[in-house]
Chain A
């Protein structure tokens, strides 16, 4: 897990988990735009069995992290996160997270509640548009 502090010395408030370099890429993008990539820890599911992924996620979700963002709703990261939710019902999970959703989260205050995360998810959904193709 990337637990380094961001440019503002912030401690991670959320964990991003997904395929390949999805999490690292998202943090890189958030950092480039806001300088606050340190709000996120990262974890890749690459080459991890389901049990090991769940254990690494369990180890990563501590010390103030109470939100998990994952990429695919059908992915192993999401399934592992849902297992953790059973152990720790206070955790919150946002699936299908994209950059717009993460940026909205960055500017939420400490202790984002479910309503705030739903707003972030809506920002993410609303950011997906298809343009052109009519000519």
Chain B
């Protein structure tokens, strides 16, 4: 199998991920990449309890994720790599650049309102720096789309950045 989805979602593990994507994709594992979470056993336990039986979750900082990524790609189960923000996914992309298994696709699944963000879609709000980082990912050959749930139409980055709160 492989990593089915590289998702940016500020709610991290929640219903859309575990049920919405997890059930139809028959997900076996979630690799959660977040430097702060990787250092907090209590936070890890919080998210571990949200993962249903039959699905495993592991926690990594970006450097650790870059090392473990090859094993995820070759895991016999289907998996999701999940980050809580654009910057972390961009750092992971940079860390994997030039490796045997570079980052090829990124799903913008949920980045919600904050005072310094502009709304692009109902579930996507971006700062200028986040838009720049997503453009840089795309320029490096990564396919970036926005899609909250499997049944929704994936919106390409250029189209996403033209949206104004639609």
Q: How far is the CB of B148 from chain A (nearest CB, A)?
A: 10
Chain B residues with Cβ below 8 Å from A82 are 46, 49
Contact A74–B123 (Cβ < 8 Å): no
Chain A residues with Cβ below 8 Å from B15 are 19, 72, 74-76
Q: Restricting to A59-94, which residues have a CB under 8 Å from any CB of B?
A: 72-76, 78-79, 82-83, 86
- For residue A114, CB closer than 8 A to chain B, the reply is no
- For residue B122, CB closer than 8 A to chain A, the reply is yes
Q: How far is the CB of A81 from chain B (nearest CB, A)?
A: 11
CA distance A47 to B49 in the complex (A): 23
Q: Restricting to A79-124, which residues have a CB under 8 Å from any CB of B?
A: 79, 82-83, 86
Interface SS of B by simple majority: loop
CA distance A47 to B123 in the complex (A): 6
With A74-B19, A74-B51, A74-B52 known to touch, is A50 a contact of B122 (CB < 8 Å)?
A: no
Contact A72–B19 (Cβ < 8 Å): yes
Q: Restricting to B19-60, which residues have a CB under 8 Å from any CB of A?
A: 19, 42, 46-47, 49-52
Chain A residues with Cβ below 8 Å from B123 are 47
Chain B residues with Cβ below 8 Å from A86 are 42
CA distance A79 to B10 in the complex (A): 13
Contact B112–A47 (Cβ < 8 Å): yes
Chain A residues with Cβ below 8 Å from B112 are 47-49, 52
CA distance A52 to B10 in the complex (A): 11
Chain B residues with Cβ below 8 Å from A83 are 46
User: Which residue of chain A has its CB nearest to the CB of B122?
Assistant: A47
Chain B residues with Cβ below 8 Å from A49 are 10-11, 110-114
Contact A76–B14 (Cβ < 8 Å): yes
Q: Which of A19, A47, A52, A79 contacts B50 (CB 8 A)?
A: A79
Interface residues of A (CB under 8 A from B): 19, 47-50, 52-53, 72-76, 78-79, 82-83, 86
A-B interface, 6 closest residue pairs, ranked by CB to CB distance from nearest: A49-B112, A76-B14, A74-B50, A75-B15, A76-B11, A74-B18
Give 15 new A-B contacts, CB below 8 A, not counting A49-B11, A76-B15.
A47-B123, A48-B113, A49-B10, A49-B111, A49-B114, A52-B113, A72-B19, A74-B13, A74-B15, A75-B14, A75-B50, A79-B11, A79-B13, A79-B47, A79-B50
Interface residues of B (CB under 8 A from A): 10-15, 18-19, 42, 46-47, 49-52, 110-114, 122-123
| Cβ contacts A to B, 10 pairs, < 8 Å | A47-B112, A49-B113, A50-B14, A52-B112, A72-B19, A74-B19, A75-B15, A79-B13, A79-B50, A82-B49
